[in-house]
Amino acid sequence: MTNLLNNYLSGQWQTGATAVHTLFDPVTGEALATTGGAAPGLKEGFTFARTEGARALQAMTYAQRATMLSEAVKLMQGKRDEYYAISLANSGTIKADSGVDIDGGLFTLGYYAQLGMALGEAHVLTDGAAAIMSKDQLFQSQHVMVPIKGLALFINAFNFPSWGLWEKAGPALLSGVPVVIKPATATAWLTHRMVADVIAAGILPAGALSIVCGSSHGLLDALTPFDVLSFTGSADTAALLRSHPAVARESVRINIEADSLNSTILGEDVAPGSAAFDLFVDNLVRDMTIKSGQRCTAPRRALVPKQLFHAVAEATAGKLAAIRVGNPRNAETMMGSLVSRAQYDSVQEGLVKLKTESSVLFDGSAQPLLDADSKSACVAPTLLGIRDVDQSKLVHEHEVFGPVSSLLGYRDTAHAIEIAHRGLGSLVASVYSEDPALLAHAAHELAASHGRVHLVSPDVGKTHTGHGNVMPASNHGGPGRAGGGEELGGLRALNFYHRRSAIQGSSVALAELTKSASPYTV
- The CATH number covering residue 274 comes to 3.40.309.10
Question: Most distant CA pair in the chain: distance in Å?
Answer: 81
Out of 257, 268, 399, 445, which one is annotated catalytic?
257
Domain contains 36: no
144 HSE (CA, 13 A, CB side): 21
**Residue of 314, 281, 295, 305 whose CA lies nearest to 461:** 281
Domain contains 133: yes
Residues 208 and 292 in one domain: no
Work out how many domains the chain is built from and give that number.
Answer: 2
Catalytic annotation present for 378: no
Residues 237 and 339 in one domain: no
Domain contains 30: no
Residues 338 and 402 in one domain: yes
475 HSE (CA, 13 A, CB side): 20
User: Could you tell me the pTM of the whole model?
Assistant: 0.96
Domain contains 443: yes
Residues 415 and 271 in one domain: yes
Tens digit of pLDDT at every position of the chain (522 positions): 468 999 999 999 998 778 899 999 999 999 999 999 889 999 999 999 999 999 999 999 999 999 999 999 999 999 999 999 999 999 999 999 999 999 999 999 999 999 999 999 999 999 999 999 999 999 999 999 999 999 999 999 999 999 999 999 999 999 999 999 999 999 999 999 999 999 999 999 999 999 999 889 999 999 999 999 999 999 999 999 999 999 999 999 999 999 899 999 999 999 999 999 999 999 999 999 999 999 999 999 999 999 999 999 999 999 999 999 999 999 999 999 999 999 999 999 999 999 999 999 999 998 999 999 999 999 999 999 999 999 899 999 999 999 999 999 999 999 999 999 999 999 999 999 999 999 999 999 999 999 999 999 999 999 999 999 999 999 999 999 999 999 999 999 999 999 999 999 999 999 999 988 998 876
Residues 439 and 408 in one domain: yes
Looking at residue 209, which CATH number applies to its domain? 3.40.605.10
Residues 323 and 462 in one domain: yes
Residues 283 and 202 in one domain: no
What is the rounded distance in angstroms from the CA atom of residue 73 to the CA atom of residue 64? 15
Residue-wise DSSP of 196-259: HHHHHTT-SPTTSEEE--S--TTTGGG--TT-EEEEES-HHHHHHHHHSHHHHTT--EEEEE--
Contact 194, 83 (CB under 8 A): yes
Identity of the residue numbered 133: M
Residues 504 and 440 in one domain: no
Contact 453, 289 (CB under 8 A): no
Domain contains 14: no
Residues 103 and 162 in one domain: yes
Residues 272 and 241 in one domain: no
Q: What domain range includes position 314?
A: 262-471
Residues 424 and 489 in one domain: no
Instruction: Using the Cα atoms of residue 127, residue 482, residue 470 and residue 450 in order, give the sign of their dihedral.
Output: negative
Domain contains 21: no
Domain contains 20: no
Catalytic annotation present for 30: no
Domain contains 11: no
Out of 213, 296, 445, 487, which one is annotated catalytic?
296
DSSP letter for 53, please: I
Residues 444 and 457 in one domain: yes
